[in-house]
Structure formats: structure tokens, C-alpha cells
Chain A
Amino acid sequence: MLVAGIDAGSNTVKVILMEGNQILAQRIAKAGANSLNVVNDSIEKALKDHGKRMEELVSIVSTGYGRDNISFATSQATEIFCHAAGVVLSMPEVRTVIDIGGQDSKIIYLDDSGQVIDFVMNDKCAAGTGRFIEMLAIALETPLEEMGPLSIKAQGEIKISNTCTVFAESEVISYLAKGIPREEIISGVHHSIVTRILAMTRLRKMHGDICFTGGVAKNIGVVRWMEKELGRPLCIPEEPQLTGAIGAAVIALERIGESE
């Protein structure tokens, strides 16, 4: 049976089609100003690519900030549960999920059966989210996808002390003015976000394998700092940005027959 998981995030829209336990199609698109259109487009294209029709979807779960606005979704689930379900599908040993998305970051704690037992989310400020890196990439005139590879070339290290995105921006500009190599500044930016995220884990001990999800997990610089700070390797899904949508599809599978 065909199901869909839609993660309508603040920055990007992610769509997964699943048949049985197999992922049939996946799409990531910029949310832009009209994310509903992007959701519609993405799902239509994903279906069309595989010769499927909307009517064949028996269960559609939406998650992310836009989850309540997707009229054709049969039910909704929060990102917390979607990320957990998405991770457990491919990495059943994981007991802690660190997710850094565009507007939120979260630590999700799982029990031995992979069920969510607790979660912590960032406070409402953009520091500690993907948006922090995006804004500083603009200030550094560096394409987002180059931030990771560049930063691991850094020879030295500088410290970004401002957690506020706006103030960090002027801090970065002052480092540039001082002639500090860009790689070192970028590495400092990554270190800063990692420190901020790991501060959230002090409230509850992490156990088992730790998985890093969300768009920021694609950034090798952040991954390296996170591993260094934690003193252990991280599990990273093949496409970390899709974890929430995969989880939504998994929940859609579980909910077949329950909805409507």
C-alpha cells in the first residue's frame, strides 16, 4: 500500500512516498513564500515519476511547521515523533537523536524499544538552528554547501562568542576585517552552534548510539565539531534532511485504516 510523509519545514519541504517498508520516492524543495504550492508540486512530481496517482495514497501524514495547512493530509504528527520514527527505521540501535533544522533544534531521547521518552527543544531564538549558519554564510559570502568542506581546512581556531545571530554576524565581519582566514571563522561558527546544541543535552544524559539529523547534519564541519565535543562518532542517515518525512511516512503506514 502506498503512503506519503510530508515534512513542511520552515526552510524546505520534504516528501517521501513509501510502499510497504520501502522508500519509493523522495523530494526536497525550497519552501519559499508559498510553501503550500511547493508541497503540492513536490508530491505530484513524486507520484508522476513512479506512475502513481494521488488516489492511490491510503495514508498521508504531515509534519513540520506547515503540518496543519496541508488539506489532503489524512493526519498530522509532530517532528519529534517523525524524527524518532525515521531514525529507528534504518538505525534501530539509536537512543538519542540530535536534530538541527531551519528554525528548531531538538534532542530526542528514545527508550530501548525506540519509543520517544523525552525531548528538549531550543529556546525560541534562531541561535542553535540552521538559520544561524545560513545567515553567517551570507555574511561570509560563502555558499551554504561550501561551509562544511571549507571549515575542515581551518588551521587555527577562533571563537564566536555571540549566540545572537545578528550580533554574531557583526562579530564575523569584524574578524574578516582583521584578516582572519575565512575557514577559521567558519569553523568558529560551527563550533559555536555545536556548543549551543550540546548545552541542551546537559539536562539528560545521552545513551546508546547518537544520530544527527536535519539539514545541518549535511555540514561536515558541524559533524566534526559535534563528534569532537561528544568524544564519540555520530550515526548520520544517508539523507539527514529527509528523516522527518521518512518518519512521517512510517507513521502513515502505522496509521493505515485509523484515519478518515
Chain B
Amino acid sequence: MSQKAKKRALDTSYEVAAILKNYWAEIHAAKKDGKPVAWASGNGPVELLYAFGILPAYPENYAAVLASRQMALDFCQMAESMGFSRDLCSYSKINLGDLLWKGKEKPAMPFDGLPLPPDLLVTTRIPCLVQVKWWEVLEDWYHCPLMILDAPLVDGSPTEDQIDYIVVQLKEMISKLEDFTHTKFDEQKFIEALKLSDEAAGYWDEIMDLRGSVPCPVGAREMCGNVFPLVAMLGTQVPVDFYKKMRDELRSKVEMKAAMVPDEKIRLIYDNIPIWYHLELFSYVEQFGAVFVMETYLRYVWGGRIDLRDPYRGYARKILSNVWLNMSVETRFKTLVNDIKKHKADGVVFLSNRSCRRYSIGQYELRDMLQQELGIPSLVIEADHSDPSGYSESQTKLRMDSFIELIKRRK
């Protein structure tokens, strides 16, 4: 599966590579200087870390980087050979396989690998439960403090009680971080990080909305790379500047009616984590005049606005509201219906993701509901997001071809 680069739709997209490089260089430099580095999971309360001058590294994100470079299989197999279940989240298998590597020569790791050892582990139950177990394994290996933000499943909007529950935990974490760093919590710094986080998320939301224009100015493949600063640097200035620039570029593209696909015919929505080792699937459809205009993973996993009038409660509300994985099937349906209309989508492609069941649960129900209530067709494809071992490219493309033909004939 070659992932050939083709000319990108947005000039701003070319800046991601340097951002990525700088991010890793900074993390490694901090580690070298003896500053504490945390391993954090996505959707964790990283803005708190910035208030204490702690930089977060993201093993999941790094696993996605390895998968997109066709390096995942060896690490997955290494973790499996050490007794971890094949059915575990492939992000965790990649990370554990990386850490447990034994025997044959280890491949050269992009960006010099994760900074080792972690000084602090931060995770949350918001997107999934595997993360907590995975972080517990890391705690066991590295004997460093582990902080877990617990969260209830939210049906619609979070209740005041649920918000209280998060706020109490945030305050507990602050005092634990004070103990860990032997410094006093700097609330101003925290609020500054929240502000930056909110600002970047605001631009990101605008970017996502601009992609709803007809024709769509930029597709999923490119945006999967562009999401990196939002995932790994939320709460800092970099994503604010980057996404502001991207928003501005998109605005002018939309004004000019610049199209990702000449003669756009079909607009698609994608649900689930991208197939990192075969991102080409997103651009594959373009030869048929189809384009992915919105992805639940890009829109409802990262970012999220924060009401800064009451920073703690506002932050708690954002943590509980914005994550697709923490939404009930009914909320997912309502959200999807809204986005199908907003983005003028013709169909939805669901990835039934072998090692992320929490993301995949309810997809067949969503498929039925969309067909019955909107007459919108959907396709369910099967693969894993980062472990390529069970993937069949030709079978997946056949399903995609048939789905596109179905939509074309219905139009």
C-alpha cells in the first residue's frame, strides 16, 4: 500500500511537517534538560500540564504516525508475541511492541521515538477504557505517577452533576501536580492554555464548516495530516496560528469555488478513526468524482470550544461534550443527521474498526436509521485503524466502488 503524495489542495498543509518536527524536537530537548515529560492520552486534560510547564507526548498519536509510515505490523506482532491480545487496541499494541522490542534489529524510529522514560502518565476514560489499562501497564513498567480522569457516558448535553464530577477531579489533579512538581499552580497559565485551546478549536470548527461548501475545497486525506497540531499541541500557540492561516486560506478557496475534485459529483461522510496505513482510500474515491467532506473523527474527537466565563465548568463541559466516542447512539444519530444536511452529503462510509469497538458500536443501527429517516445510503467496511494484518485492499475497494456506483445511479 503505497501512500504517494500528490499536490495538496491547501498551501498551509505543507507546514504540518515542520510543526511535527519541531514538536518532537522540543519534547526531546525538554527531556534532555531534565524537565518532566508526561505521556498523555488523547482527550486528556493536557491544558493543566501546560500550567505546570510539563510537555505532553502522545503514544496514540505516535502509533498513528508509525502506522501511516507502514511500520505498525512489526510492533503489533511484537506485542502479541509478548502475550498481549491480538484484539487489543492497535495503538496500544504498537506502543507496547515498541517498548518491549526484543530480538531482531529495531527499525529506525521517526522523530527519535517517544521520550523515555515518561515522568508522569495522564489518561482518561472519556474515549475508551483500554487506555486506562494500557496506562496502568506503563505505570507498572516505569513506576511513575498515573493520573486518571474518570468520565461518565454523556447522553446529549452533560448534566450539572456530571460537570461537578469533572471539576472535582480537575482540582484533585491540580493538587497532585503541585505535589509532583513542587510548584504552586499558576491559574493564569492554565486559563491562558484554555484560551489557546478554545481559539484553535474555534478555527478548526470554522475549517470543518468551510469544507461543507460546494464544491468541497479539501478532502479527508489531507485533513488527516492537518489534524496533528490539534491532537498534540492543543493549549499552545502553534495550532492557533496554523489553523487561523488555514481558515483564511480556505475562505479564499471557497470564495473562488476551488474544488478538491474537478466535477464533484458525490459528497461523503466518514465515520471512525482513519485507516492510517491506507489513507489512500480517502483519495481513491476522487477518480469517481467523490470527495469526503466531513469525518466524525476529525470533527468530534479533537478540539471543542470552552466557555471561558467559568473556566473550570466550561472546560469540564467541553471535555464531556465534544467526543464522539463518549456519545450515545442517539446523540450520534442526531449529530450525523445535522452534519449530512449541513455538508450536503450523499452517503456515509462507516469503518467497523476491529480494535476500536467503542467507536464502532451502533454503526449498523445508524446505517438503518439514516436509510429509513433520510433515505441516505451507507456503507460499512471492515478493517483495523492501525494494525494492517487483516486488511484486504481489493475487498475494501470493491465495496467502495459498488457504493459509489449505487449513489451515482440513485442520483
- Which of B90-98, B247-255, B260-268, B390-398 has 4 or more CB atoms under 8 Å from chain A? B390-398
Q: Which B residues between 387 and 411 are near A, CB-CB below 8 angstroms?
A: 390-392, 394-396, 398-399, 401-402, 405-406, 409-410
Query: Interface size class for chain B?
Result: 20 to 34
Residue pair B395, A124 in contact (C-beta under 8 Å): yes
| Neighbour of A124 across the interface among B382, B401, B406, B410, CB < 8 A | B382
Question: In the assembled complex, how far is the CB of residue B308 from the closest CB belonging to chain A, in whole angstroms?
Answer: 45
- Residues of B contacting A65 in the complex (Cβ-Cβ under 8 angstroms): 394, 398
> Contact: B405 with A124, CB < 8 Å?
no
Q: List B contacts of A172 (CB < 8 A).
A: none
Residues of A within 8 A of B406 (CB): 80, 116-119
Contacts A118-B377, A123-B382, A124-B390 given; does A104 touch B405 at CB 8 Å? no
**Which residues of B have CB within 8 Å of A79?**
398, 402
Q: Is A121 interfacial (CB-CB < 8 Å)?
A: yes
CA separation between A84 and B340, bound complex, in Å? Answer: 29
A167 to B138, CA, bound (A): 35
Contact A77 B405 (CB under 8 A): yes
Determine if A162 is an interface residue (Cβ-Cβ < 8 Å): no
Residues from chain A with a CB closer than 8 A to the CB of B371 are 118
Distance from B179 Cβ to chain A, minimum over Cβ atoms (Å): 50
| Chain B residue, CB-CB nearest to A123 | B382
Q: Which residues of B contact A124 (CB under 8 A)?
A: 382-383, 390-392, 395-396
- Give the residues in chain A near B368, CB-CB below 8 Å: 203-204
**Interface residue? B14 (CB, 8 A):** no
A77 to B404, CA, bound (A): 11
| Chain A neighbourhood of B382, CB < 8 A | 123-124
Contact between B377 and A104, CB atoms less than 8 A apart: no
B142 at the interface (CB under 8 A from A): no
How many angstroms between the C-alpha atoms of A215 and B394 in the bound complex? Answer: 20
CB proximity of A53 to chain B, nearest CB, Å: 31
Contact pick for B395, options A104, A117, A118, A203, CB 8 Å: A104
Q: How far is the CA of A69 from the CA of B401 in the complex (A)?
A: 15
Q: CA separation between A185 and B371, bound complex, in Å?
A: 40
The docked-state distance in angstroms from the alpha carbon of A103 to that of B398 is 12
Task: Report whether B395 and A81 are in contact in the complex, using a CB–CB cutoff of 8 Å.
Answer: no
B180 beta carbon closer than 8 Å to chain A: no
- Whether A115 pairs with B409 at a CB distance below 8 angstroms is yes
Residues of chain B touching chain A, judged by Cβ–Cβ distance below 8 Å, are: 352, 364, 367-368, 371, 377, 382-383, 390-392, 394-396, 398-399, 401-402, 405-406, 409-410
CB-defined A-B contacts under 8 Å, sample of 7: A78-B398, A80-B406, A81-B402, A103-B395, A117-B406, A123-B352, A203-B364
